[in-house]
Each structure stands twice: as structure tokens, then as C-alpha cells.
Amino acid sequence: MSGLGVQPKLIIHGGAGSSLKSKGGLESVRRSLHAVLEAVYPLLRDGATAEAAVIQGCRLLEDDPRFNAGTGSVLQSDGQIRMSASLMNGSQQRFSGVINVSRVQNPILLADFLQNSPDHVLSDIGALELLRELNLPTYDPLTEIRLQEWMLERQGNFSKEMAGVVAERELVEESAGRGTIGVVALDREGRLAAGTSTGGKGFERIGRVSDSATPAGNYATMQAAISCTGIGEDIIDECLAARIVVRVTDGMPLQAAFEKSFKEAAQNQRDFGAIGIDATGAISWGKTCEVLLAAYHDGTEIGDVLEWADGNLVGGTHPS
């Protein structure tokens, strides 16, 4: 604490999965993640709300074609892009989101609008009508790399379970992972918020619903905020984000809540990662997969976990 209140904290992720194909790919992801932290953390430092910081961070990540959200989203089995996103305001404990929306640049903006709507979660047609109501321009998030990825997979009759989370210029990354972006923030007033956005797992059955627009993948209260990434079905089966938050609410420290939840997940052979912050300013992350594409600002400096190969399932920082 200081005279200005709580020291803001920020953590973001760009997906999770197996190792990046090259050191060059890793450094490119690091630059992208650090650039978002460098743009968003000053907003928190200057008094922006956690919710505003989360929205801006998600927008920047959605606009980066390297990640599977917004521009650069993967294609489903029918060659269409359908995206999902959610936002949760921890101080108001309010969840909002869109499921399988198309032709929009930033799905997180639709989730933001729905925070103050009587209807908090909309799916495909409803989300499209909201897009028109808000007079947002239609937008094609397709990139050439994602199109080539889909065409190659079509030749194999979509035998792959999912597309890579990171789009590399060398084309299909050796399954870099499960594509989602997420942002969790703590502001100077002690408010928490979390946002998560995804293009889905790629090549999936039409109508499949991601965890990203559910409390299993994105959840926040006044005590903690969590964003998840990985295999959506595994995240839903564990109800991961809500499970961690409930444990913190019941008095468990954030790191301990991560450790217990990820130990259970490992026993169940789940494949995912998560990031979080609690009301004390502790930052935590966890993974059952090989790599978690996450970076954070602890109030003093920027760090990341891209090369984190610790045998432990969970890592984190203590509040300062």
C-alpha cells in the first residue's frame, strides 16, 4: 500500500500448450506480450479501473494476429471464424460475454457493453444483432496463415484435434497449444477484473461452445480474478476459474488455491493453464501443459513465464 492506495498489478496470457517451435518464435511472443504490458500498466498506474485496463489489454491482444483471438482467430471445420469473449467485473461480481460471434474486430467490446445490459451473455445471432445495434463496422479477422492452416488440415479431413495457438510465419506451429488470450488486473482502488477472448480450438464442430465465455474460464470477485487457457472442455470439467476464486474467497491464499486446483487437474489428466491476481496483490499462474504464454507486471518490473520449465505446476509473486 501507498498514499495512492493499492499498487496495481497486471498479468496477461496468449495461450498454452506444447513448446514453441523456435527460439525466434518465443522471442516474438515475448515482444508481443511485453508490448501489451508496457501499454496497459501505465493506465493502471495513472488511475484507470481494472475493468478498463482488462478491456484495453484484451483489445491489444485481439488485434495481434499472432494470437488466436480477434484478428488471427482459427477457422472452424466449415471454414468460418466464430469467436467468444467474456468480461467479469470483480467488485460488482458481474459476468458478461458473447459466444460464437463473427465479423467483429474486438469481441471483448461486445462483452463490455453487456456489462450494463439486462441480458449479460449473447450467442451467435444475438451477438450479431448487438454488433449492428452498436453500429460497429463489420470486420474480417481472417489471416493468410490461418487460412493456409485450415486448408492443410482439410486435406487430412480435420484429423487434428485443434489448431496451434500461435500463428508463425513458418506456418503451422507444432501445436503450440490451445488458443485464448486473457488479462487480469488489480487497480489502485483494489478492484479486480478479468477478461478472456478466443477464436476457439480450430476445426471444431459447428456450434461448439468455448470455456472462455463461461465462469469456468473467466471469473472474478472482490477477492480474486482468474483467466484460463487450454483445452476448453478440460477447463469446463474442472470449472477451473470459479474453483480457484471460491477457494480464495473461503480463505485460502491464492498460491495455495492454484496448487490445490492444479494438483487435482493433473490427477485428472487435464491440459490447460491459468493466471490470476488476488486482492492482496499476489500474482499466480499454473499449467498442466508444457508452456504457458504469460507475462506480468508486478508494480516494479515486467516478467514472463515463457521459459518456465519448473517441475512445479504453479508459480507466482508475493505482494509488495
Residues assigned a catalytic role? 180
Burial 57-76 (b: 16+ CB within 10 A, else e): bbbbbbbbbbbbbbbbbbbb
Q: What CA–CA distances, in Å, run from 271 to 198, 217, 286, 288, 308? A: 16, 13, 11, 5, 16
**Alpha-carbon span 165 to 72, nearest angstrom:** 10
- Alpha-carbon span 203 to 201, nearest angstrom: 7
Q: Which three cell numbers stand for residue 110?
A: 461486445
Cα distances from 54 to residues 9, 125, 259, 316, in angstroms, run 11, 26, 25, 20
Task: Decide if 272 contacts 244 (C-beta within 8 A).
Answer: no
- The cell for 265 is 487437474
Taking each continuous run of H as one helix and of E as one strand, the counts in the chain are: 8, 13
C-alpha cell at 234: 478440460
Q: Which helix (H) or strand (E) holds 95?
A: strand 94-101
Which three-class secondary structure string do you get for 131-180? HHHCCCCCCCCCCHHHHHHHHHHHHCCCCCCCCCCECECCECCCCCCECC
